[in-house]
A and B are shown apart, each in its own frame.
Chain A
Amino acid sequence: MDNASRSRTIAEWIASTRPLGGAWDEIHRDEQTVRPVWERYFQAMGPLTAVELSQRWEDAKRILRDNGVSYNVYADPRGADRPWQLDAIPQVMEEEEWQILSDGISQRARLLDALLEDIYGSQATLVEGVLPAGLVFANPGYLRPLQGVCPRGGHWLHLYACELARDADGGWVVLADRTQAPAGAGYVLENRIVLSRAFPEAYRAARVLRLAPYFMRMRRSLQAMGGRDHPHIVLLTPGPFSETYFEHAYLSRYLGFTLAEGGDLAVRDERVFLKTLGGLQPVDVIVRRMDDDFCDPLELRGDSNLGIPGLVQAVRAGNVAVANSLGSGVVECSALMAYLPDLCRFLLKEELLLPSVPSTWCGEPEGLQKVLGCLETLVAKPAFPSMRAEPVFCDRLGDQGRQILSDRIRREPENWSGQSLVPMSGTVEWSGTHFRPRGMALRMFACRSENGFEVLPGGMARISNEPGRANLAIQSGGGSKDLWVMSPHPIADVSLLPSAKHSEVFRRSGIDLPSRVADNLFWLGRYAERAEGIARISRAALGRLSGELSLADGGELGVLLTAMRNIGMLAANPPSGRFGIEGAEHEVIASIFLADKGMGLQQTLAALHQAGFQVRDRISNDTWRILHHLGRDFAPGRRQGSSSVGDVLSLLDTLLLHLSALAGNSKENTTRGFGWRFLDLGRRLERAQFTLDMLGIVQEASNDGHLGLEALLEVFDSSITYRSRYLTELQFAQAVDLILNDDGNPRSLLFQLQALGRHLDALPKLQESPFPRLEQALVLQAVTDLRLIDFPSLARDPSGVERTRLGELLVRLRRDLPTISDCLTRAWLSHAETTRQLSRGNA
């Protein structure tokens, strides 16, 4: 930014930015003046300069990053999730204009609901020829098992979204309807939080309509579908690899629903249940974010591993409400748009308020002729979204490409529709240093309310740098903007807290924790502890390599390297080529940064992040922020190779600090429910395992004295305790006592085993039995054996009989710990196995 730019107010700058040619200009009324709604926005922003904007926006983007707002992009080389892109400048709209749009959107939602009822009911629209039968029957979204089903509450559509753009005259047209599982409302919320935090004065002054009341009413309407007080509502997600998983986790937390994957739910007696630690809990409403054909492998797609066998039957029996109903994807269909005006008259006896982009279905002969006649001016779209094909901008095709496309359309006309190109309206985007012109389309949302549909007073603007190329899929990247609907009247404050209706229900953390969540928390604990162990041992080794700590001889280092080889951090044999200190240094640093090491730090941190990601809805924002920070310095390609020992040591110090913060958070800020117990079980098991691994090596190395003890105490963070107790040279028995047998040392093995025992005793009983379960018995045995080791005798004769007993005990424990982990997994955590198809025979 040059000096002149720095002091420019953003109002001046935006006003002087010319739009991309030809399109409707959102900002300017003519060459000289901006539109009144933007005038209001500029007033609200005040004399903010570009340099101030830049600073505030950097802070705001940090919030986005730290909250881990992301969008999964399939096959993205940059990893599973891509950071969310939000622009500093909102899209603004007067309440009056929004009201008109809102009427159109809610009518459209009513229309599509009525159409669904007709398609899955009497099919009058088909029999009367209002809608070509092929449009439904050739549509893979038409789910035959739902034919004749009456969904609970009588409605098919509960949540609706649409894509809107302005035509050349500034009129709004719908580019696409979303009825399957409309995504994006969660991102709108997050966008709003970030933007209102970055510009609080402007946000107040602009009198922006609040989003919270919409979500409150949406929740109320979903609750009403449950048919009883305090209905159990789950948000069904395909899982963390789904593109909008962030939003699923975010919305389920915001709305207070349980986030569930297909494997968390089961059907018994034509009812849906959530599998929890305490058994099966009934589910009343499913907010579905999974495509409907995947939802039941018995009656829908048999190859779906994500679904819930028997769900369709539960729906048919009226025992569960699904929003949106199974089958609602049939009307999310570009080919349908051409028939909406007629359908609106036929089904609602109303004129369609909000037009669609001019569209033609090729499944009817005249439609086919029309599309092929002017193909070069159209976007050829797959008629049905389940075909998962990309739209083709035909003006970009050469003669040959167009010929190939026409042949394809002629071969399977039913699968294609043609739509006119809509020139996107012009707006601006803040690049970080300057404003640049962009094209824009809007995604808006509606939900069912007591009387019809209510529209979210806000939305998401999708921006693109090509006029006329609305690429609507969030997946295709590109930025987003928050939509501010500005009211002429002052705005009342609202929050999502329940209304003044007094409740006398009190609760404690219960056993209604989904088994899958417990499983992930367990692994979160294990990976956090594993990362800490690896970081500590790496730090101890590198410290000795840097020479600053080299009081002891190279023997200590040798023990550490052997330990790292034994637990799999380093290759079993030193690589050939480099030798001595330099070779070791290279090897250790490589083990930290390389992604392909099973026990590498980088790999472990990635697994830790992944485990946290899977229970994003269960962990606090603070914990999530720590998790998100954790791996950043070690992310792939971040610092490979050339880093000096000093650099890496300071990275490890920071990492250990973050890991301590994570541990502290789970100790001080986590309710002692079953979730916490599984988190801690994972941690204790992993730490016990690590202790045994380390001790085994020192035990072998120290046959002739105290080799490795120094490093051992350091890795176990117990040097200070030892020194303050003994003030002498290191003794084997005393050091081992501190690390194994001192139940006051939170790093000792006994401490871990006792904690394990307490957790196991506290878990709910699956079967009533007076006897300990196998894992309880193993822990009890281990504690007893450990306490019975005769340490004085070990001190007298460090290589005598007691040393042998100790060795045997360590071997046995190394065998038993995995058994304990397996028992836990089997009894509590294993998703019930996945179902398989019955084999089928016929003549």
Chain B
Amino acid sequence: MIYKIRHETIYSYDDPVQLSHNLAHLHPIDGFRQSVSFFQLTVAPEPAVISERVDGWGNLAHFLLVQEAHKEFRIVAESTVEVKPAHLPILVETQVWEEVAASMRPRPRGAVAIASQFRHPSPFVPALAQAREYALKSFIPSRSIAEAAFDLMHRIHEEFEYDPKATSVATPLAEVFSCKHGVCQDFSHAMIGCLRSLGLPARYVSGYLETRPPPGKPRLVGADASHAWVQFWCPDWGWIDLDPTNDVSPSERHVTVAVGRDFGDVTPLKGLLLGGGGQVVRVSVDVAPLEGNSQGNFRRMSQQQMQQQ
């Protein structure tokens, strides 16, 4: 599937911002199941510096420095990305989860050593006893890792309530666990916390969903903004995607932008400002199949997410 993607973020400030340093993770990953044939970043006002770098996990990040005074900051990322379908192992045939956890402990080598970096707590995903307790109901002894991980995803989808008003970026994971509600980011952090509590590596994925569902399919939750889901490590296979918000295993309808330990590593746009006063953010995301690629060529309206800080 080939998508044309447009991700627009507009910050409006009460007072002029003199200077802003920004770090953007807006370039979809080129590799794994994806190839990026076009990418363009449009920024207003024009940054004094735009530099591009690939980080240790293969993400492409942009560093932007705006040195001219402005009351509005607009950044548009446009890309064309081809996504290939995901293939899954036969779940019950994957390795028993306790063995996977054990292989990480004494002295992992090679790819396992590198994957093992995702088994440790991270700033947004601290080690929590609740997480382990929750996870063990799916990770019963001697169960295969993929089977248990899928079960965990089902349970989170069933037992956690999707509620955009309930949480913010600052809501601690412990609260997400005790109240069992939140958005894609909370669901993902919760699931990552569960996996890591058992010593299993898990990554946070930042990305997009196809905006309009194909005929006969339901619209996915989170399609109007950037989305988040999870990857777990399956030996002899690699990283496997799971989306606890939609209870699906991402394939062609998910576009990956960046992977990291948690939201903090791959925040689509973070920045530091001088001046500015109050601020309002508007984000809109549109992910449309390339014309002729699949269905209709009607004009697409993007939804806007308003956020008053």
Instruction: Given A309-B272, A364-B105, A836-B273, answer yes or no on A843-B114 (Cβ-Cβ < 8 Å).
Output: no
Cβ of A580 under 8 Å from chain B: no
Interface string of A823-843 (1 = CB under 8 A from B): 000000000110111111111
Note all chain A residues with C-beta closer than 8 A to B224: 843
Q: How far is the CA of A144 from the CA of B18 in the complex (A)?
A: 29
Q: How far is the CA of A138 from the CA of B118 in the complex (A)?
A: 9
Decide if B273 touches A838 in the complex (CB within 8 Å). yes
Interface string of B47-69 (1 = CB under 8 A from A): 01101011110000001010100
Instruction: Given A838-B270, A838-B273, answer yes or no on A133-B228 (Cβ-Cβ < 8 Å).
Output: no
Nearest Cβ distance between residue B70 and chain A, in whole angstroms?
13
Instruction: Given A270-B65, A835-B274, answer yes or no on A129-B48 (Cβ-Cβ < 8 Å).
Output: no
Residue among B109, B263, B275 making CB contact with A127, cutoff 8 Å:
B109
For A131, the closest partner residue in chain B by CB is B107
Nearest Cβ distance between residue B16 and chain A, in whole angstroms?
12
Decide if A316 touches B53 in the complex (CB within 8 Å). yes
Decide if B107 touches A840 in the complex (CB within 8 Å). no
Interface string of B255-282 (1 = CB under 8 A from A): 0000001011101111111111001010
For A142, the closest partner residue in chain B by CB is B117
Decide if A268 touches B169 in the complex (CB within 8 Å). no
Decide if B49 touches A270 in the complex (CB within 8 Å). yes
Q: Which of A468-519 contact B (CB under 8 A)?
A: none
Residue count of chain A within 8 Å CB distance of chain B: 44
Decide if B120 touches A840 in the complex (CB within 8 Å). no
Q: Which of B20-28, B78-86, B153-161, B290-298 contacts A (4 or more CB under 8 A)?
A: B20-28
Interface string of B94-108 (1 = CB under 8 A from A): 000000000001111
Q: How far is the CA of A637 from the CA of B279 in the complex (A)?
A: 50
For B129, the closest partner residue in chain A by CB is A411
Residue among B23, B51, B116, B119 making CB contact with A270, cutoff 8 Å:
B51
Instruction: Given A840-B267, A841-B305, answer yes or no on A833-B127 (Cβ-Cβ < 8 Å).
Output: no
Note all chain A residues with C-beta closer than 8 A to B56: 144, 147-148
Cβ of A267 under 8 Å from chain B: yes
Q: Decide if the interface of chain A is mainly helix, strand, loop or mixed.
A: loop
Q: How far is the CA of A123 from the CA of B268 in the complex (A)?
A: 27
Note all chain B residues with C-beta closer than 8 A to A835: 21, 272-274
Instruction: Given A133-B108, A313-B63, answer yes or no on A138-B23 (Cβ-Cβ < 8 Å).
Output: no
Note all chain B residues with C-beta closer than 8 A to A128: 109
Nearest Cβ distance between residue A298 and chain B, in whole angstroms?
5
For B56, the closest partner residue in chain A by CB is A147
Cβ of A269 under 8 Å from chain B: yes
Note all chain A residues with C-beta closer than 8 A to B116: 133-134, 137
Most buried by B among A313, A837, A843: A843
Most buried by B among A137, A268, A832: A137
Cβ of B309 under 8 Å from chain A: yes
Decide if A838 touches B11 in the complex (CB within 8 Å). yes
Residue among B23, B51, B127, B271 making CB contact with A317, cutoff 8 Å:
B51
For B118, the closest partner residue in chain A by CB is A137
Instruction: Given A137-B116, A269-B48, A835-B274, answer yes or no on A842-B107 (Cβ-Cβ < 8 Å).
Output: no
Note all chain A residues with C-beta closer than 8 A to B107: 129, 132-133, 364
For B263, the closest partner residue in chain A by CB is A842
Instruction: Given A127-B109, A269-B49, A365-B106, answer yes or no on A839-B309 (Cβ-Cβ < 8 Å).
Output: yes
Q: How far is the CA of A253 from the CA of B222 in the complex (A)?
A: 57
Decide if A841 touches B283 in the complex (CB within 8 Å). yes
For A270, the closest partner residue in chain B by CB is B49
Q: Which of A300-322 contact B (CB under 8 A)?
A: 302, 309-310, 313, 316-317
Decide if A298 touches B307 in the complex (CB within 8 Å). no
Cβ of A663 under 8 Å from chain B: no
Q: Which of B101-159 contact A (CB under 8 A)?
A: 105-110, 113-114, 116-117, 119-121, 127
For A133, the closest partner residue in chain B by CB is B113
Cβ of B34 under 8 Å from chain A: no
Decide if A840 touches B227 in the complex (CB within 8 Å). no
Note all chain B residues with C-beta closer than 8 A to A137: 116-117, 119-120
Cβ of A126 under 8 Å from chain B: yes
Nearest Cβ distance between residue B147 and chain A, in whole angstroms?
26
Cβ of A21 under 8 Å from chain B: no
Note all chain A residues with C-beta closer than 8 A to B226: 842-843
Nearest Cβ distance between residue A118 and chain B, in whole angstroms?
13
Cβ of B190 under 8 Å from chain A: no
Cβ of A145 under 8 Å from chain B: yes
Instruction: Given A127-B114, A129-B108, A364-B106, answer yes or no on A838-B271 (Cβ-Cβ < 8 Å).
Output: yes
Note all chain B residues with C-beta closer than 8 A to A268: 48, 65, 67
Interface string of B26-54 (1 = CB under 8 A from A): 00000000000000000000001101011
Q: How far is the CA of A316 from the CA of B51 in the complex (A)?
A: 10
Decide if B184 touches A298 in the complex (CB within 8 Å). no
Decide if A840 touches B269 in the complex (CB within 8 Å). yes
Q: How far is the CA of A316 from the CA of B62 in the complex (A)?
A: 13
Decide if B281 touches A298 in the complex (CB within 8 Å). no
For A836, the closest partner residue in chain B by CB is B273
For A311, the closest partner residue in chain B by CB is B21
Cβ of A412 under 8 Å from chain B: yes
Q: How far is the CA of A814 from the CA of B307 in the complex (A)?
A: 47
Note all chain B residues with C-beta closer than 8 A to A841: 169, 225, 281, 283, 305, 307
Note all chain A residues with C-beta closer than 8 A to B269: 838, 840
Cβ of A19 under 8 Å from chain B: no
Nearest Cβ distance between residue B45 and chain A, in whole angstroms?
15
Q: How far is the CA of A412 from the CA of B11 in the complex (A)?
A: 42
Q: How far is the CA of A132 from the CA of B104 in the complex (A)?
A: 10
Q: How far is the CA of A364 from the CA of B102 in the complex (A)?
A: 11
Note all chain A residues with C-beta closer than 8 A to B273: 835-838
Q: How far is the CA of A270 from the CA of B49 in the complex (A)?
A: 8
Residue among A298, A364, A837, A843 making CB contact with B225, cutoff 8 Å:
A843
Q: How far is the CA of A341 from the CA of B214 in the complex (A)?
A: 60
Decide if A133 touches B117 in the complex (CB within 8 Å). yes
Note all chain A residues with C-beta closer than 8 A to B227: 843
Interface string of A618-657 (1 = CB under 8 A from B): 0000000000000000000000000000000000000000
Q: How far is the CA of A310 from the CA of B226 in the complex (A)?
A: 25
Note all chain B residues with C-beta closer than 8 A to A317: 51
Q: How far is the CA of A840 from the CA of B48 in the complex (A)?
A: 23
Decide if A843 touches B51 in the complex (CB within 8 Å). no
Residue among A126, A144, A145, A302 making CB contact with B113, cutoff 8 Å:
A126
Residue among A126, A145, A364, A836 making CB contact with B55, cutoff 8 Å:
A145
Note all chain A residues with C-beta closer than 8 A to B281: 839, 841
Note all chain A residues with C-beta closer than 8 A to B49: 269-270
Q: How far is the CA of A270 from the CA of B109 in the complex (A)?
A: 37
Note all chain A residues with C-beta closer than 8 A to B113: 123, 126-127, 129, 133
B-binding residues in A (CB < 8 A): 123, 126-129, 132-134, 136-138, 144-145, 147-148, 267-270, 297-299, 302, 309-310, 313, 316-317, 364-366, 412, 414, 832-833, 835-843
New contact pairs (19) apart from A127-B113, A134-B116, A840-B169, CB-CB < 8 Å: A127-B114, A132-B107, A132-B108, A133-B107, A133-B113, A133-B116, A144-B55, A309-B21, A310-B21, A317-B51, A364-B105, A364-B107, A833-B275, A835-B272, A838-B273, A840-B270, A842-B184, A843-B183, A843-B224
A-B contact pairs, 21 of them (CB 8 A): A123-B113, A123-B114, A129-B107, A129-B113, A137-B120, A144-B55, A148-B54, A268-B67, A270-B51, A297-B272, A298-B272, A317-B51, A364-B105, A366-B106, A833-B275, A842-B183, A842-B226, A842-B263, A842-B268, A843-B222, A843-B227
A-binding residues in B (CB < 8 A): 11, 18, 20-23, 48-49, 51, 53-56, 63, 65, 67, 105-110, 113-114, 116-117, 119-121, 127, 164, 169, 183-185, 222, 224-228, 261, 263-265, 267-276, 279, 281, 283, 305, 307, 309
